[in-house]
Amino acid sequence: VSQASWPSGTECVAKYNFQGSTEQDLPFCKGDLLTIIGVTKDPNWYKAKNSVGREGMIPANYVQKREGVKSGGKLSLMPWFHGKITREQAERLLYPPETGLFLARESTNYPGDYTLCVSCDGKVEHYRIIYHDGKLSIDEEEYFDNLMQLVEHYTKDADGLCTRLIKPKLMEGTVAAQDEFSRSGWAMNRKDLKLIQTIGKGEFGDVMVGDYRGTKVAVKCIKHDATAQAFLAEASVMTQLRHTNLVQLLGVIVEERGSLFIVTEYMAKVSAVSLNIAVKMCLCPCGSDVCEAMEYLEANNFVHRDLAARNVLVSDDNIAKVSDFGLTKEASSTQDTAKLPVKWTSPEALREKKFSTKSDVWSYGVLLWEIYSFGRVPYPRIPLKEVVPRVEKGYKMEAPDGCPAAVYDLMKQCWTLDPAGRPSFRLLREKLQESVSVCVEVPAGVDRAVPGFL
């Protein structure tokens, strides 16, 4: 273990239990999260603290450094699935023969079905997987919800196949998601997670309050294998980001049966707080908090692509944090525009798929407008289909009632049609901090929590 690679602030996860033998030691259990806070003269020991702030000495070889997962789109829940390949291609991939070596592919003879290809006794057997009424089956006796469940079943028992599935033939260029999250120190144990209450339902799954080893957490539960595959990119991005104003990933659970759990810090939402109190808590500081988060993403070459008030949460201690990294990518990548929110997305991103920090700046201007208008939907009274044509002709939303002139000026700078003319997040933060001393009056008769922070 090299101390040079374990500076103060390094996050690590326990590989084994450690009871400690002196009062200076910090006991921990396998899977506990720890933070290095100092080196010692002995390279085999570090000073560290646990999740509740207790400090002590830990053995370096008992913990694993957490690293960012950078496989991105190469991560796969089904690395043995090769998509549209022919029978002959499958047989070449499974050569030389090795009993139990297997892969799955789309069926060429029966479109919509799959084929399980298994090497056994020197030849390859091809088993048709029938898709019927939303279920998959080989023998029409055992039915499964998805391919992962089917493969899991036959890895444990041949159950009529020529052999049990023993070794997956990975598709070239893919990495098994569970292996990569484990290697980098982000895999959590499902047995340690207790799901308590659903706090949100969406198209792709539920968001729940949970308990992980005594810590209150938020959990995205994605239970369909194809959908879970799409969320792997979000989880991998979150392993690379660490900032006070970003919702922090705590870990990932990949189940063999196709479920994915993304575990993050729990954020108290401003739900039972009236607008009058919410203004004092988070109106001006919120814009600055979000700007600091975006400045961090800017410095690390990440583009959020879905910045909006709905994706900003507020913690117990009233710190605003940016969440929902489903569209976040490195600045050099492209994005399908079909699912983008029109009212928050810059014209060049909608028109030419040109995403950059500057397109995030545009969205930030819209977010500021949401905050200072107390949660109104942007471009009020303008039909959605008319928003983009009017914006491209230079239209800008009017200042919200009571919004300081300096803040509205920042919004308009964010909405400069030429991306090069928009300010950086660093400049925005500096200007916004100069403006937050201005008090904002709550419009008469308004007494509701701010949408987007609920």
Look up the domain containing 130 and give its range. 83-168
pLDDT given at position 164 = 97
Tokens of 13: 């996860």
Residues in the chain: 454
CATH code at position 218: 3.30.200.20
Q: Are 250 and 265 in contact (CB under 8 A)?
A: yes
Each residue of 377-389: pLDDT tens digit?
999 999 999 999 9
Q: Which of 106, 136, 168 is the last residue of a domain?
A: 168
Same domain, 147 and 204: no
> What single-letter DSSP state applies at residue 145?
S
Give CA separation, 407 vs 119, 177, 443, in Å.
66, 44, 17
Same domain, 301 and 427: yes
DSSP string over 232-301:
HHHHHHHTT---TTBPPEEEEEE-TTS-EEEEEE------SS-HHHHIIIIIHHHHHHHHHHHHHHHHTT
pLDDT given at position 329 = 60
Is it true that the peptide bond before 404 is cis, omega within 30 degrees of 0? no
Same domain, 286 and 430: yes
Tokens of 86: 């022919």
Q: Residue 453 falls within a domain, yes or no?
A: no
Q: Are 388 and 350 in contact (CB under 8 A)?
A: yes
Backbone angles phi, psi at 211, to 5 degrees: -130, 120
Same domain, 323 and 368: yes
Each residue of 151-181: pLDDT tens digit?
999 999 999 999 999 999 999 989 889 899 9
Cα–Cα dist 212/18, whole Å = 19
Answer whether residue 258 shows pLDDT above 80: no
CATH code at position 58: 2.30.30.40
Cα–Cα dist 185/66, whole Å = 5
Residue 315: band (very low, low, confident or very high) from pLDDT cuts 50, 70, 90: confident
Q: Residue 275 falls within a domain, yes or no?
A: no
Same domain, 295 and 378: yes
Same domain, 154 and 295: no
**CA-based nearest residue to 307, from 321, 423, 454:** 321
Q: Are 97 and 38 in contact (CB under 8 A)?
A: no
Each residue of 409-441: pLDDT tens digit?
999 999 999 999 999 999 999 998 877 554 445
Cα–Cα dist 187/91, whole Å = 34
The amino acid present at 38, given as its one-letter code, is G
pLDDT given at position 277 = 37
The amino acid present at 242, given as its one-letter code, is R
Residue with tokens 């922090």: 248
**CA-based nearest residue to 245, from 280, 178, 195, 297:** 297
Cα–Cα dist 311/398, whole Å = 23
Same domain, 220 and 318: no
More confident site: 3 or 118? 118
Q: Are 304 and 260 in contact (CB under 8 A)?
A: no
Q: What residues act catalytically?
A: 306
Q: Residue 74 falls within a domain, yes or no?
A: no
Answer whether residue 273 shows pLDDT above 70: no
Q: Which residues are annotated as a binding site for ATP?
A: 220
pLDDT given at position 104 = 97
If DSSP codes are grouped into helix, strand and coil, which group holds residue 256? coil
Answer whether residue 371 shows pLDDT above 50: yes
Same domain, 294 and 420: yes
Q: Are 251 and 326 in contact (CB under 8 A)?
A: no
pLDDT given at position 73 = 62
**Average pLDDT over the chain, rounded to an integer:** 86
Q: Residue 149 falls within a domain, yes or no?
A: yes
Alpha helices in 26-175 (DSSP H): 87-93, 147-156
Cα–Cα dist 355/449, whole Å = 32
pLDDT given at position 225 = 66
Residue 326: band (very low, low, confident or very high) from pLDDT cuts 50, 70, 90: low
pTM: 0.81
Q: Residue 338 falls within a domain, yes or no?
A: yes
- 82-230-184 Cα angle (round to 5): 90
Same domain, 363 and 411: yes
Same domain, 59 and 102: no
Q: Which of 214, 240, 265 is the last residue of a domain?
A: 265
Cα–Cα dist 448/442, whole Å = 11
Looking at the 3D structure of the chain, how many domains does it have? 4
Work out the average pLDDT over 270-298: 64
Label residue 172 exposed, middle or buried (CB < 10 Å: 0-12, 13-18, 19+).
exposed
Residue with tokens 């297997």: 102
pLDDT given at position 443 = 53
The amino acid present at 201, given as its one-letter code, is K
Residue with tokens 């008469």: 444
Same domain, 286 and 400: yes
Q: Are 239 and 180 in contact (CB under 8 A)?
A: no
For strand 101-106 and strand 167-168, is the pairing parallel, antiparallel, or unpaired? parallel
Same domain, 299 and 412: yes
Each residue of 198-247: pLDDT tens digit?
988 876 788 999 999 989 999 999 877 667 887 888 889 899 999 999 99
